[in-house]
Structure 1
């Protein structure tokens, strides 16, 4: 092997010809390689000489510049470790250097002519023609905002994901982000358009705000759908069933995550056209949704993603829990959907008290008792359910009695084995719904953080998401960044192309958005806080909730309230989570501002019915260079397996704050539940809360090395999540022999 010479010109060097990216030949010039290495290491705790020494590509005639560059990347990745984490940024910069050089060869320039980039991409159909609402002079001014040095901020995982998943052919990172910002500002008044475009661009380019995958991937292309989350309801008739499947396909085509509630569908053995024992139940329709997710593969990027929700009282619930197991009739299996249980408070109380629970057929209850049980929650549900149980054997024939705790054990067993079903707490979520005057929420979305009213065939929940990157924000940044985040999403509603009419109608009627956060673990580590600092966490999320809500009120002054505002809890002076203002005067750290905000909302209205929702951000956080969502990092440092090998993953401040990053794989999940419950008070929709249980001995009980986690410990944690007001439980992960690894593609259909 030939390593770099310490001199720039030797007889050996003069004998080697290198193939450049355009195919031409040139003599090897070691000084050029050294210049790239120095550039990649600049400002980092990484010695360029160490990287030079690791270059092992055979420097022979015909070696390509890409081979040399790829070998440098491989060397940098091998040098990365918990004590030397900056090498992942060196590898990221070298990856970006490749992109810069490829772009220069293919189109003849890099960042020098943004106006030309826009003009040519609009002409070729790659860019949305609405970019030409900006004059050439405005496009040239916008191009002057670009700082190519911001491309150097990505580590290797972020750089690869950004280029692979989001960039168009012959497009550079800052061009993509600037084009998104310009399009997001296109609905602003002409005299304010450039002002807001620049604010949007800087917040996005400095990675203070992360755009959800559908926005970042689809915004620049013509007729792109920008919404992340959808929920549709399936009614109990053939026409609506197939309309729902078609709508799910349309959503999946555009990269959205789909939630489908099937609780209205009659159970197995129910009546069809007056014939008893004719219905096949919910499973055959779920199987069709399963196959739709596979067939409509989001433009070839990945398989579709659909979560199917079923109320826990449905007679098919036991088969629903078994539909992803290997045994049984394979014709009644659905391995590619994500099952979700809709859980009532009454069920959880019976689980706690070890009481019986009744499974019923919604069709029989509808026909014989006139009750549409799927629409009910809270006291109305409890009253109707008591009436149903009093009618057993007299009017109702199709039912099953089961111990509630035994059913919950079946649910837990499935979660430990497969990570699912998700649990969505119906009463908690509907009690916080500001639009109770117009309907109810049937279930959660794909990532268990966003939902609102749904009416089968009429209104499909549609939500647009972004996230604040707390790792790059200080407390004083929050008012400005929250304002920008809310304004971006409200503008998104105006420029998106929803995939079907019920989505269009919902978007306009409720104007649902979800400002989330990522990098909480980084924010805490920088301040030497832990997940047990509940007051500090509460203060942070109080500020986020306040500033986002206030911005939506200010937008209502400017643009008008959302159409369903009259009669909503907002119009009654209630605030986040439909809570009365007195709650805020008791629980808030800064009380008076909430009273004033309540009065302002009653006077001026509010622009968006739902404003905050915290998505999982598993992949987006890699691009943003921070920890995912609000959860602790899985591990302080690990290698993730990708198609081209292993990639080092670590939080951004790991070197200086190593011990202040708790590892979720060994953290008591009761701590996580308490922290999420604290945040949930200030978040008006939901939080994607994964729970991770380590099944190895001695992890949680160092005084008892032989003791491992028991089923009761997991049971107590799930019960605590419900009792403390969490709205949903996303995946339940388990760690065995430290074998768990995060997947690069986890939940890429929704916010990621």
Structure 2
């Protein structure tokens, strides 16, 4: 068996081994051979050492272990003894030598016990430890209270061992440790085991909750206070009125909240729902959402949800009843409002809207007014979409100076730098997306904005960009025709035209150019421009591909303007003018929270959607508007965007693979129900509160619902649309109701990315497939190991969940295809994003799009992109009637760290350990910014 002695150097390797006492020594692979040989001898007897089979196996297994430890090619690293032994154990299991591996595991456990004598309670005794409070005073470490807190954290979690957490915690403590470090040690002890047992995520969350309780109760009551979860049934009602008072005195909460019946509201709080957070969700809430004074939180999670609900109920007649109704929806995770609403509802600056769309005028005053508005809108957490098409291009004449324009790019550079400077109060990086139509003379320079080469003065590395593509261009691509680029000052009406009217005017301008009547233009082969668009999209991730005509031809508001762009995340399609900044107010239904054994609970979903639409409509009236253009548009049209999240979780629960006709059908049926109930709810609100002011003349007023507007797109394209128009619900009755009653909102649906709110609810993002079954997620709250709990449960049920499986998942980056032990049905069900043919994503999105009056944030994944594949994919998206697409995601060189959390972030003072991973290809394209800590998208 291997000894506890460190391994010596050999062959000049500079890899070092960290002893258990913290000292280090050089690496020697001979000791690995000895360890493996002794493992065989312990099982097969002394004579086994002389057999060729064992000698060959020892040589092979030793090589595997050494390769695993050194395959990165960087020998200037260190590993711990335990990590080397982990690799030995893993090599034995993969070689099928299970009895030898088990003997080896038992030996390691015996050695661990021998090194760590236990006390009668099973907990390692340490010398007396004092804890330093924030005021500098000291007191003995209260181990009994730690036991209570840990026991509470493990309650109801069958796979969580409280003694293990407590032992790990005490092992991290030292004399004079600060109180906050003790709390951190508790959390980290539980977090260390998340990758092997997802239930530890809930335990870690509950331990973090103890820290939040200490902070909040102490800050609100003005004296140090600690409370267990059991205490909170009485503590929450006493705390809540004082919390409101504290927030108002700090100038953070709206004084109007004090006018609510706070006793009635406090009695409605559900303390037990604090236990429903997974660790990532609560940590995100703690870091970014809970209100604080000088970085000391005074807002508890259920108070947070109730505060948000109160803010949206301010104008209601029975506002306490409505606040409780809204609170129930939020705290149960059935629906979650978007991040700006969660940040700001009930505060003195209630900017609750998510997305703002603007059109930029073609003059200096207009350009800089819009850049200024970008700053004001971004300050309070808004995501921005700017339509830059009206700005004249390079070489266009400037009449006032008799000079020539430098084009749109220099102004985009300024807009880019503004987004960096205004970072949403330090909560989220300012984010903006610039849109340009494909006929603009500057389109080729626009395509290069995100490149890492070229003139830096004409690059915008922090700004998102998107192509606004008319159908005529796609038709020219299909026909391999010519395409003409113009400067908008010479073709001003193209900006406001779409469909047949655009095609007619465009051809007229081409003829005028032929006659010499157009000063600035250039002809290109449409296919060549299309190829360049796709090439740059693959290389830089931008500009995204969005479709102008589909957005306009199916817009309910085409009687009152034009959709000139989408937003930051490509799900909002609202009209913009110089005088109106389009605004959308977002929230998302959690699909998986509405599932039963028979599928979606229709009645529960109807109730959720009805309440959610009311909440979103209320946002418009209580909102704080930073520009008059945004207030004017929001009050006139009252658009909202109800979306969904947890789609992948729902498929797992229903045992439907993403790559299947059944998944496409579920996308269809689930969105049909949401659409039906959302339209019905808005019509009910119209009966109660009145129609939106620009209703007359809309598609709604003509009895044309989103499902009906497909015919408008089909007619404009001469039938060149692939959209299934099947339906299951009674749409005739709803159509009659809308004609009779009207609509409260010009638009009611949009599927946003839900990048952050899905973390809060502990479900998969939006309509996204699973990225990986075991991965480290990064956001502004840090890095978090996330294991797919559905997969873990299935593997446990089949007796396949063990440390070797965890190591295999890491080794294969959370992808099951290469793990032979996993049955084929599970590999199909839990296939990850890059294993799914992206055409399945397009088909599912097409089925959703037919029900939606706006659009959806649709990421497309390609494991091996090629020019042909990209061309086919994006032409398919256009032909399937999609309005927009979002990021193109391709494989990245950043994968799951090949180490255990216990070695990396499971200890307070751990030495970082990174076991080697196999050589990986360089990234073939841009990663989606949803996983970028600097970008949390709309939500």
Q: TM-score, normalised by structure 2?
A: 0.74
Asked if 1:605 is matched to 2:742, the reply is yes
- Quote the RMSD (CA, aligned, Å): 2.6
- Counterpart pick for 2:177 among 63, 85, 91: 63
Q: CA deviation at 1:441?
A: 0.5
- Counterpart pick for 2:301 among 158, 170, 173: 173
- The equivalent residue for 2:477 is 351
- The equivalent residue for 2:728 is 590
Greater Cα offset, 170-179 or 52-61: 52-61
Distance in 2, matches of 1:67 and 1:152, equals: 22
- Counterpart pick for 2:676 among 546, 549, 569: 546
- Counterpart pick for 1:428 among 550, 572, 575: 550
- The equivalent residue for 1:561 is 691
Distance in 1, matches of 2:335 and 2:117, equals: 41
Q: Structure 1 residues 130 and 662, CA, compared in 2 at 3 Å: closer, same or farther?
A: farther
Q: Structure 1 residues 577 and 316, CA, compared in 2 at 3 Å: closer, same or farther?
A: farther
- The equivalent residue for 1:144 is 267
Asked if 1:447 is matched to 2:569, the reply is yes
User: Contact 2:777/2:783 (CA < 8 Å) preserved in 1?
Assistant: yes
- The equivalent residue for 2:520 is 398
- The equivalent residue for 1:700 is none
Q: CA deviation at 1:34?
A: 2.0
Count of residues paired in the alignment: 726
- The equivalent residue for 2:631 is 504
Q: CA deviation at 1:638?
A: 0.6
- The equivalent residue for 1:634 is 771
User: Contact 1:8/1:29 (CA < 8 Å) preserved in 2?
Assistant: no
Q: CA deviation at 1:144?
A: 1.3
User: Contact 2:547/2:878 (CA < 8 Å) preserved in 1?
Assistant: yes
Which runs of structure 2 are paired with 1:92-491 in the superposition (5 Å)? 92-108=205-221, 111=236, 112-134=238-260, 138-169=261-292, 170-189=298-317, 192-273=318-399, 278-366=404-492, 372-394=493-515, 395-456=517-578, 458-474=579-595, 475-476=600-601, 477-491=604-618
- Counterpart pick for 1:675 among 819, 844, 847: 844
> Which structure is larger by alpha-carbon Rg, 1 or 2?
2
User: Contact 1:576/1:683 (CA < 8 Å) preserved in 2?
Assistant: yes
Q: CA deviation at 1:729?
A: 0.9
Q: For 2:396, what is the secondary structure of its paired residue?
A: coil
Q: Structure 1 residues 389 and 144, CA, compared in 2 at 3 Å: closer, same or farther?
A: same
- Counterpart pick for 2:646 among 505, 515, 519: 519
Q: Deviations over 1:543-572 (max 9, x none)?
A: 110001000000000000000111111001
Asked if 1:751 is matched to 2:879, the reply is no
Q: CA deviation at 1:315?
A: 0.5
Q: Structure 1 residues 323 and 10, CA, compared in 2 at 3 Å: closer, same or farther?
A: closer
Q: Deviations over 1:691-719 (max 9, x none)?
A: 11113xxxxxxxxxxxxx43211221111
User: Contact 1:57/1:67 (CA < 8 Å) preserved in 2?
Assistant: no
Q: Structure 1 residues 144 and 590, CA, compared in 2 at 3 Å: closer, same or farther?
A: same
Greater Cα offset, 638-647 or 660-669: 638-647
Q: Deviations over 1:472-514 (max 9, x none)?
A: 2232211100001100000110100111111111111110000
Q: CA deviation at 1:454?
A: 0.8
Q: CA deviation at 1:124?
A: 2.3
Greater Cα offset, 61-70 or 404-413: 61-70
Q: Structure 1 residues 362 and 645, CA, compared in 2 at 3 Å: closer, same or farther?
A: closer
Q: Deviations over 1:128-167 (max 9, x none)?
A: 1221331xxx211111111222112212211111111111
- Counterpart pick for 1:725 among 857, 860, 881: 881
Q: For 2:468, what is the secondary structure of its paired residue?
A: strand
Distance in 2, matches of 1:644 and 1:211, equals: 19
Q: Structure 1 residues 595 and 577, CA, compared in 2 at 3 Å: closer, same or farther?
A: closer
- The equivalent residue for 2:98 is none
Q: Deviations over 1:227-276 (max 9, x none)?
A: 10110001112221121111111111111011110111111001001766
- The equivalent residue for 2:821 is none
Distance in 1, matches of 2:509 and 2:522, equals: 12
Q: CA deviation at 1:9?
A: 12
Q: CA deviation at 1:445?
A: 0.4
Q: Deviations over 1:352-410 (max 9, x none)?
A: 232221111111224xxxxx111111001000111111112421131111111211111
Distance in 2, matches of 1:364 and 1:11, equals: 81
Distance in 2, matches of 1:441 and 1:10, equals: 66
Distance in 2, matches of 1:77 and 1:364, equals: 62
